[in-house]
Chain A
């Protein structure tokens, strides 16, 4: 067992996903199969091998410290599911 239902529930919480009870078992077994497969990588000795984050070796992509046009306020809020005046509105943060 590479991953248990409890771990799936924890990971789902981290990712802000809610799984229905009937989904949990199925997803757990699918994830388990995938994790079982990727363990294949353990066959390789990667001692001292550098990681690759970028497939090209570029560095120092900069911009100058200059102010450019911001979005006008209406466009910034145009897709907001809920807004009040100038703000995005969200339910209160309570536990």
Chain B
């Protein structure tokens, strides 16, 4: 029996506004507990919410970037339930009329492009944080995070494998970061993902019973958790059993899921339109203004990199996987004429330590990287030495000229200087000389290697070649 996996993802992206969604408290991460709160987000008696316009703008940006239709009139609703991190006893969210619906994004897995539908995206407020005491049966409530704006993005159940799910997740991640509406930091909790997953026999139309997976706080964990769950469900079904509909928590340390069954309650959220908030009406003028201000999005940028820089799809894909990395690349390109070489360099030397998400922390500026590569072109240093210099640049942030000078790494291209060494090496290695003259041209590598050793790698390899050829006749 062959099974098909059906996955839908629910993403909560914290929006990068300065203030909260319904009050003026700061949204800055890391403040001492209960210091970024006010009567409104504390849910005190008598308070009222007022909507942060920037949150709507961000919603419109996301809708445009994902070709979603924007509900010109959208409303807020109350989602009612009791929990200590939810001060009002309800979360202000959107229910019947979300800001965006029926969007889509393209993902690429194993060279195949697929369109994934986005059912809806809506605005809502975040809850606070609970910290559980280890010894005493109490929990501590910190409400700083309450009222932080969230964009909840729900995909259609179009994903057919954990790989597709991660690709989709990364795509949405890239989009919200390109749009600069979210930090997209999974570890810090500004980008969260829950998954709904079920299996069905291949060819079946009806969806199988699904489970909900939570607590996956990295792309890798999403992949691992989904893979685990696919196996787990498959085993049950192959055994003739039935999957129980439940919520499962991924345990990254043990590499398995844990059922929340028994700990959760069937929730009746009793959604109804929030009477304290008035409808949001979005007109054409607003949409067009936002559209005009949209940055170039990942797909478009990738296509342009392929076209303008003549890069392969693969390279372009990697370089545009984050806005920061793409910006970095283009800044360096303005100063160095060979995009492919630049791309290769970044791919092999940089991405190990500084990836698309962390490039901003890299001490090597695009300007300095371009300079380094130009120095290779100019023959000032060899490619090999350049790697050493680069290592130094990564460690200290110093510019390449300074390093080369300080460590005296400049390539030796002075014929005179090299000629002596060349002659010395020829004199010292008669066996290899004889081999070369007999036609074993590969021995040239040996001679050049010797010269490199003697010059500590600073001999200009092309010149070395030429001189040996010349001397060996």
Interface residues contributed by chain A, number (CB under 8 Å)? 35
Cβ of A73 under 8 Å from chain B: yes
Complex CA distance for A48 and B52, rounded to whole angstroms: 33
The prevalent SS among residues of B at the interface is: loop
Q: Mark B244-272, 1 if CB is under 8 A from A, else 0.
A: 00000000000000000011000010100
Q: Are A65 and B54 in contact (CB under 8 A)?
A: yes
Which of A61, A66, A87, A89 contacts B24 (CB under 8 A)?
A: A66
B-contacting 9-mer, from A29-37, A38-46, A51-59 = A51-59
CB-nearest residue of chain B to A95: B263
Known contacts: A63-B50, A67-B26. The answer to whether A92 contacts B19 by CB under 8 A is no
Q: Are A87 and B17 in contact (CB under 8 A)?
A: no
Which of B53, B131, B262 contacts A95 (CB under 8 A)?
A: B262
Chain A: residues with CB nearer than 8 A to chain B?
14, 16, 51, 53-54, 58-73, 76-77, 84-95
Known contacts: A59-B278, A61-B50, A63-B53. The answer to whether A88 contacts B34 by CB under 8 A is yes
Cβ of B56 under 8 Å from chain A: yes
Q: Are A88 and B275 in contact (CB under 8 A)?
A: no
Complex CA distance for A94 and B42, rounded to whole angstroms: 24
Q: Are A84 and B25 in contact (CB under 8 A)?
A: no
Q: Are B32 and A73 in contact (CB under 8 A)?
A: yes
Residues from chain A with Cβ under 8 Å of B53 in the complex:
62-65
Q: Are B42 and A76 in contact (CB under 8 A)?
A: yes
Among B37, B82, B132, the one with the most A-chain Cβ atoms within 10 Å of its Cβ is B37
CB-nearest residue of chain A to B24: A68
CB distance from A91 to the nearest CB of B (A): 6
Residues from chain A with Cβ under 8 Å of B54 in the complex:
64-65
Among A63, A66, A91, A94, the one with the most B-chain Cβ atoms within 10 Å of its Cβ is A63
CB distance from B55 to the nearest CB of A (A): 8
A-contacting 9-mer, from B135-143, B167-175, B296-304, B316-324 = B135-143
Q: Are B50 and A62 in contact (CB under 8 A)?
A: yes
Which of B18, B75, B137, B263 contacts A92 (CB under 8 A)?
A: B137
Residues from chain A with Cβ under 8 Å of B281 in the complex:
59-60
The interface size bin for chain B is: 35 or more
Residues from chain B with Cβ under 8 Å of A88 in the complex:
34, 84, 140-141, 143
Complex CA distance for A91 and B130, rounded to whole angstroms: 11
Chain B: residues with CB nearer than 8 A to chain A?
17-19, 23-26, 32-39, 42, 50-56, 73, 75, 82, 84, 130-133, 136-143, 262-263, 268, 270, 273, 275, 277-281
Residues from chain B with Cβ under 8 Å of A73 in the complex:
32, 34-35
28 A-B contact pairs sorted by A residue (CB < 8 Å): A53-B273, A54-B275, A54-B278, A59-B278, A59-B280, A60-B281, A61-B277, A62-B52, A63-B24, A65-B55, A68-B24, A68-B25, A69-B24, A70-B25, A70-B38, A71-B37, A71-B38, A73-B34, A76-B34, A76-B42, A86-B35, A86-B142, A88-B34, A88-B141, A89-B138, A90-B84, A92-B133, A95-B262
CB distance from B135 to the nearest CB of A (A): 11
By Cβ-Cβ distance, the 6 closest A-B pairs, closest first, are: A68-B24, A87-B140, A65-B54, A62-B53, A86-B33, A88-B141
CB distance from A77 to the nearest CB of B (A): 6
